[in-house]
Structure 1
Amino acid sequence: MTELRVPESAAGERLDVFLTDAAGSRTKAQRLIDSGSVRVNGVPKPKRHILAGGELVRYETPEAAPRADVAPADFRIAYEDEHLFVIDKPAGVVVHPARGHEQGTLVQALAGRVAGGPDPERPGVVHRLDRDTSGLMLLARDEQTHAALQAALRAREITREYLALVEGRPPARQGTIDAALGRDRRVRTRISSDTDDPHHAVTHFETERALPEDTLLRVTLETGRTHQIRAHMLAIGHPVAGDPEYGNAGRHGLLRQFLHAARLAFEHPATGEALELRAPLPEDLVRALRQASGERADLSV
């Protein structure tokens, strides 16, 4: 058990900011708080809790479980130069170490080849994909490139386009979902608009193909919140097909959500070249799309 007395000089700080030095990073501090391990004067508080000074903060650091050997992450390089990578990530690959996934991650497979950003556990990561979302993601190879790409992402100068098969038929062929998202009040593993910690989130979609009981959408992100597409699609009543957390697992034989980062377009931060990368649907999603279509022939998107 670790005990820290909050000095008066820390009055007005968020709880996660106060714990950053003790935990080793702000990300680790937030994980401790989210796990329920942190108490302020004996009471659990959210990471955004503002300290007044004088409180007693107690927390226990979970013991590290013995690590089994894990095979290196599998991936394909869609584009590479001395400044950055564009990776085509298969489903099942975790981007960076996290609780339950300390080994076998993408950034570990790229160790020494990616860099940049404030979190040493996420070197070079400009944006991330969920473990079971496949497709294109961008990583920097140095601090300057990472900073430039992060600035472009904030300025909405990087296009991230996904293919998502959703249940049912949205009420319009194209639309925008503008609904703040955060950790769900009741189901802590979910992100939703029913939250005590809302963050601005905007998703655009348009119909790519109407199927008998589903719709294939092209989806672009204006913001990049955790589980944003999955949570937003559920919010409008059309969850991503096969999604075990936000929809109905196993739909059309899927073993994961039908969500694929199909296109990435941006201006190269060093050369100014306009880059546009595409990743074809992986075979498991092609099979599911074929089944949802009621067709037997191969389908291309």
Structure 2
Amino acid sequence: MKKTRPRTRPKKKATNPDTFTVDQEGPLLEKIIAAFPHKSRKLLKAVLRDQQVQVNRKTVTQFDHLLKPGQVVEVSWDKSSPKKRPHGLNIIFEDDDIIIINKPAGLLTVATDKEKRKTAYALLSEYVKLENPENKIFIVHRIDRETSGLLLFAKNEKIKHTIQETWLTTIRERTYIAAVEGEIKQESGTISSYLNESKAFIVYSSQNPKAGKKAITHYKTLKSNKDFSLLQVNLETGRKHQIRVHMQDIGHPVVGDTKYGSKLKPIGRLGLHAQGLVFTHPKTGELCSFKTGIPAKITQLFDQDQE
């Protein structure tokens, strides 16, 4: 009698990640679409959102993350069980040392006497503890509550101190978008003064070197109409309320900024957005560059003018 081997079900092959090397500079989503033409755009956006894409072994979820030639992109088609994303926060980059978020307007960076729970710091602390209760988050810098945009946190104290102690050389570029009152006709300009904060937490500007810390702001006009101007602002120094005070100095306060001279609240928030951040990674030495879109509430001030 011929013996027969019992039938066994063939093992389901695990879906291995697909990898490609970047040959030309371009946005991440566009490169993934080009690399996997038979995959739907909806699927490719989903794998980005669900933390299934890595660039040089670092998870990236930002659709317009700028890829450089030579970088390796890895896409995993198997949806694992990612950590629960913190509600209300858009994490655009995370590795073992840092987290970068796109903070919404209205959310504090860190607790105050009035608000101790719902802050970016608290939400991220809860998020990292899901993986390990011993994990912590460390504040590297802050942006105002009513300012939206890119905010960098460290995942250990050593990285925090490394960035803060080498801030001027580590942080290569901080770019903001500002919607200000009135039409600014000059294409670009530089504002320089000395800033000092009063006991009432109001920052004052002076040309007296003994009256505060030096602050330098560069701006470029992107759009303007008879009511508002849209500026790209680069900080040479990073003083508290620097952009807000310097815009007041030139007679064009940030819209919605009643603390520093604005009389209009056309968008229900401060017209300030931290759009770009370029820095040297504190551990790898790699140059990291991140850029977000301009919030629709800000662009609507200029779309109406073109109707």
- Distance, in Å, in 1 between the alignment partners of 2:176 and 2:225 is 18
Indicate conservation of the 8 Å contact 1:127/1:138, yes or no.
yes
List aligned pairs for 1:4-83, cutoff 5 A: 74-83=88-97
Q: In the alignment, does 2:295 pair up with 1:275?
A: no
Q: Using the alignment, how far apart are the partners of 1:112 and 1:149 within structure 2?
A: 23
- What's the TM-score once normalised by structure 1's chain length? 0.64
Q: Which residue of 1 aligns with 2:187?
A: 173
Cα separation, 2, equivalents of 1:104 and 1:157: 27
Structure 2 residue 225 is the aligned partner of structure 1 residue 211: yes
Within the candidate set 243, 251, 272, 1:259 is matched to 272
Task: Specify the alignment match of 1:62 in structure 2.
Answer: none
Contact 2:170 2:282 in 1 (8 A): no
Post-superposition offset of 1:295: 2.4
Aligned residues: 214
Among 112, 117, 120, the residue aligned to 1:103? 117
Equivalent position of 2:106 in the other structure = 92
Distance (whole Å) between structure 2 residues aligned to residue 105 and residue 197 of structure 1: 33
The verdict on how the C-alpha distance between 1:179 and 1:75 changes in structure 2, with shifts beyond 3 A counting, is same
Whether contact under 8 Å (1:73, 1:104) holds in the other structure is no
For residues 129 and 73 of structure 1, the distance between their equivalents in structure 2, rounded to whole angstroms, comes to 19
Conserved? CA contact 1:161–1:264, under 8 Å: yes
Instruction: Give distance in 2, aligned partners of 1:241 and 1:213.
Output: 10
- 1:73 to partner: Cα distance: 6.8
Shift of 1:168: 2.3
- In structure 1, how many angstroms separate the alpha carbons of the residues matched to 2:87 and 2:106? 9
- CA RMSD for the aligned pairs? 2.6
Equivalent in the alignment of 2:239? 225
Q: For residues 259 and 289 of structure 1, what CA distance do their matches in structure 2 show? A: 15
Q: Which structure 2 residue ranges, 5 or more long, are not aligned? A: 1-85, 129-135
Secondary structure of the 2:238 match is: coil
Structure 1 residue 191 corresponds to structure 2 residue 234: no
Confirm or deny: 8 A CA contact 1:91 1:134 kept in the other structure: yes
Query: Contact 1:113–1:141 at 8 Å: present in 2 too?
Result: no
Q: How does 1:93-132 map to 2 (within 5 A)?
A: 93-111=107-125, 124-132=138-146
CA distance in 2, matches of 1:236, 1:184: 21
TM-superposed CA distance for 1:215, in Å, is 1.6
Q: Which has the higher strand share?
A: 2
